[in-house]
Structure 1
Amino acid sequence: MATIKRYISPKVDKRGMSEIFFRISLTKNVKYRVKSGIYINATRFKDGEIIKPRANQKEIVLLRGIERSLEEIENALLDFFVTVPAQSVSRDMIETIVGRFHNWGGDEMQGNEKHHGFFDTFNDFLASRDFSKSRTNGYKTLCRALHRYEVHRATIREGNYKIDLDTFSADDLADFEKFFRTEWELYEQYPEIYIQYPAEMRTQHKTHKPQKRGDNIVVNVMNRIRAFYNWCIAQELTTNNPFCKYAIKSERYGTPYYLTIEERDCIAEYDLSARPALAIQRDIFIFQCLVGCRVSDLKRLKKTDVINGAIEYVASKTKKERGDIIRVPLGGRARNLIQKYEGNNDNRLFPFISDQRYNDAIKEICKVCGIDRVVTIINPTTGRDEKHPIYEIASSHIARRTFIGNLYKKVKDPNLVGSMSGHKEGSRAFARYREIDDDIKRELINLIE
């Protein structure tokens, strides 16, 4: 298995900067030493690691950019080494891959005020924003897609094409959108692009091939590009705004489907004694239905989060933006579930499993318990309406929707419900729960008969 180690050149220029090198080992006999093209203050590098100061925020931002640049190069190289036999690798191949990333962050650390490249600026944007891990990953996915677009456009149309912050236009945005929508078809023609810039990095095995993408995904990606450009304009890095002549469509979501209180109680009371492992996950699912937190927050809950008869936590998705404490009083059933697992799992509330296994268990639980009501959903890829029994599409998020949907049916106060779900006032996501069900519609019609 290929390994990459960093070391710094002993040569220090007059500005106190040294270049970082990669020591690459493919086999016992196949090894390379390659320049990264990235320079750093020699005092900020030790034993292959970047040392960040505590107080100098500007330098911290720059060092974070360098760290990400090194990781991007290393990931691109490791992906390449997986697909090419060690004996077939040449120094030229390695230097070609590294060359795409040359001087990311280096000019800034040297005090050079010359204009950044597009991706340098994108890295600075990401380093300056205190995003959650999931949002950061979303922007990294966008960055790789833009890299692929640049390489693809240079390959088939313009040999020297580079995305330029100051000239990227509305036409370029439309061209990128078309590319992003059809990438799954282009992969077969240009697989080498996807080795360098994989479509997915968060899975155990990096996925090179992009999947089909629907309107909502495209809208989300274009909104991220707009956020980046808004930041650039605010920082006076450019006066170019390609979105002045480019309109982003609106995301389209269906009415949220959720379990009725009767369906929830059916699951809670169903005899699963013959399947004890499934019964444990059923208990966790019911607890989530009773408190309405996201699965990421559910898995972080500890016994110390139970305070004066309520569960208290800060939503991980929004803690860096708002940091509001969410407090949900615990009813009798929720308290009983906590007590049931009180002696287990260290300080954790429940014996949690992986997200995927939990989602699989929820589908199985709904099927076993006979929760087969057919609901209409919008296919995220095709945008078409589809009908499925709930047990086929149930996941951990249906627990959150069950909490919110049933509360809103009882109390039409979005602020009160939002205080327990973590939705901010005016949230577009929360507005979807305001669909009035057939029973309430019938009551209204009866009022005018």
Structure 2
Amino acid sequence: MATVKFIIQSKKPSAVIYVRFSIGSNQVYKRKTRETVNPENWNAKKGGVVQRTALTREALQNQTEQINTLTKLESFILEQYRKRNETEIINGDWLAEIIDAYYSGGRKIERLDFIENYLEHYKTDILPFRKYKGKPITKGTRQKHLTIVDKFQEFLKTEKKRLKVSDYNISAGNRFVTFLRGQNLSDNTVGKYLKYTKTIFKDAKIDNIEVHDQLSEIKGFTVDTPTPYLKPEELQRIQELLIVNEKLEQTRDWLIIGCYTGQRASDLFRMTPEKFVTINGKEFINLSQKKTKTPVLVPIHTEVKKILDKRKGFFPAQFSINLESAKTIFNENLKKICKLAGIDRPEYGRVYDEVKKHYVFGNYPLHDLVSSHICRRTFATMYYSKIPTAIIMSVTGHRTETEFLGYIGIDNSTLSEQMYSYWEQLDHKENKDDLVIKNVN
């Protein structure tokens, strides 16, 4: 039979109270509580606080609270022993954990059932050790997870009750989406955050925390975000534009380099002469793309070579050592250059509304929509159907043709229409060959 008795082992004025937990003659364990008592007020035989009546109101209240605490602690220990499972080893460590659980609001596994506690546990005990394809996740990926955790913790404050991990189902996911949309986030960001919550909560199983049966049904989502591109004649107008401002000249050079190398800004601004390599007499820029870690060899186009020659073999100066700041400056200057060049054809896209503090979709002049991403999109669109798709993808870093075609906005109907063009070319070639044969005869 399991028994609990409280003892003290010191004669000091603030002696620590210990728990003596016994489940058999050779199974007696002792651990500290967080309580202290003056030995003069301790009944060693009964193992409890002496109940005095001639006390001040404050002292009487403290005495009552300590008696109640010890009574509840005894009940808690005995209850946890009764509820133990077959895998639990009952020893001094177990007793210490139970005592800590009493003061902390429950055993660790029970506390982690609640989402706010689990998310803190995820940040400190799971996320730092996550891997992707056998390698630790990047700093950027860790930061994305932390951002989503912070957003979810904000969301929890809007709920009417304290949620457990097992409460996170499709309905809760939908409420999270509604909360995020109220934060003026783009739909693609909202869909990405929702997708990652499934990953975060799925890991609760590692600690034997119950998850909802619907967890696997919670899906992220994406929406098509209009991404404009420059037509060859528009790019030509920008190249011929007379610019006297040094920063705008610097911006134009980066734009031209971007449009003829097909790289994201995060890779564009990492280009240096040290990345040049020569293979079979031809020069390339050797990169490992920052976002996907995809290695690419980028041929140096004649237009890029002109800029490098103009700058004595160097790339244009950086706008800032901070990538995000560099992109912001680049984007602002791009809009100025395109406006100067008269790139104003109407396009559907989004513009940030400073008053409403979110993006507004609509038809705008192209110069209001341009950003650093126009470089990669222009490259891919400009050379599609002129150069084999696989070769373009080797430069842009797209992994599948489906992904690439979606990126430049080519769907099945467009591909079907292109079939007519190829048939016409084939018919023209066959007719021409027939004519040559007849003339020979």
1:240 aligned residue: 211
1:318 aligned residue: 292
CA-based RMSD: 3.6
Question: Is residue 173–residue 242 contact of structure 1 (8 Å, CA) maintained in 2?
Answer: no
2:379 aligned residue: 403
2:173 aligned residue: 173
Provide the C-alpha distance between the structure 2 equivalents of 1:237 and 1:246, rounded to a whole number of angstroms.
20
The alpha-carbon deviation at position 282 of structure 1 amounts to 0.5
Q: 1:230 to 1:426 in 2, by over 3 A?
A: farther
Question: Is residue 291–residue 330 contact of structure 1 (8 Å, CA) maintained in 2?
Answer: yes
1:136 aligned residue: 142
Provide the C-alpha distance between the structure 1 equivalents of 2:416 and 2:301, rounded to a whole number of angstroms.
26
1:259 pairs, out of 226, 230, 233, with 230
| Residue identity opposite 2:292 in structure 1 | T
The alpha-carbon deviation at position 447 of structure 1 amounts to 5.8
Provide the C-alpha distance between the structure 2 equivalents of 1:382 and 1:356, rounded to a whole number of angstroms.
17
Provide the C-alpha distance between the structure 2 equivalents of 1:430 and 1:121, rounded to a whole number of angstroms.
41
Q: The residue matched to 2:155 in structure 1 has which SS? A: helix
Q: 1:433 to 1:241 in 2, by over 3 A?
A: farther
Provide the C-alpha distance between the structure 1 equivalents of 2:358 and 2:331, rounded to a whole number of angstroms.
23
Whichever of the two has the greater Rg, that structure is: 2
Provide the C-alpha distance between the structure 2 equivalents of 1:282 and 1:178, rounded to a whole number of angstroms.
41
The alpha-carbon deviation at position 249 of structure 1 amounts to 5.9
Q: How many residues align?
A: 296
Q: Are residue 145 (structure 1) and residue 148 (structure 2) matched?
A: no
Q: The residue matched to 2:152 in structure 1 has which SS? A: helix
TM-score where L is the length of structure 1? 0.58
Q: Are residue 217 (structure 1) and residue 217 (structure 2) matched?
A: no
Kindly provide the CA deviation profile for residues 307-351 of structure 1, in whole angstroms up to 9, marking residues without a partner as x: 1101111111122xxxx311111121112212322366xxxx320
1:422 pairs, out of 397, 406, 419, with 397
| Residue identity opposite 1:411 in structure 2 | I
Q: The residue matched to 1:311 in structure 2 has which SS? A: strand
Q: 1:264 to 1:409 in 2, by over 3 A?
A: farther
Provide the C-alpha distance between the structure 1 equivalents of 2:209 and 2:383, rounded to a whole number of angstroms.
47
The alpha-carbon deviation at position 115 of structure 1 amounts to 6.6
Question: Is residue 198–residue 216 contact of structure 2 (8 Å, CA) maintained in 1?
Answer: no
Question: Is residue 281–residue 358 contact of structure 1 (8 Å, CA) maintained in 2?
Answer: yes
Q: The residue matched to 1:388 in structure 2 has which SS? A: strand
Question: Is residue 192–residue 221 contact of structure 2 (8 Å, CA) maintained in 1?
Answer: no
| Residue identity opposite 2:309 in structure 1 | Q
Q: The residue matched to 1:307 in structure 2 has which SS? A: strand
What is the identity percentage for the equivalent residue pairs of Structure 1 and Structure 2?
20
Question: Is residue 327–residue 420 contact of structure 1 (8 Å, CA) maintained in 2?
Answer: yes
TM-score where L is the length of structure 2? 0.59
Question: Is residue 351–residue 369 contact of structure 2 (8 Å, CA) maintained in 1?
Answer: no
| Residue identity opposite 1:135 in structure 2 | T
Question: Is residue 167–residue 212 contact of structure 2 (8 Å, CA) maintained in 1?
Answer: no
2:254 pairs, out of 268, 271, 284, with 284
Q: The residue matched to 2:305 in structure 1 has which SS? A: helix
The alpha-carbon deviation at position 443 of structure 1 amounts to 8.4
Q: 1:367 to 1:115 in 2, by over 3 A?
A: same
Question: Is residue 260–residue 406 contact of structure 1 (8 Å, CA) maintained in 2?
Answer: yes
Provide the C-alpha distance between the structure 2 equivalents of 1:439 and 1:232, rounded to a whole number of angstroms.
45
Segments of 5+ residues of structure 2 without an aligned counterpart are: 1-99, 131-135, 320-325, 428-441
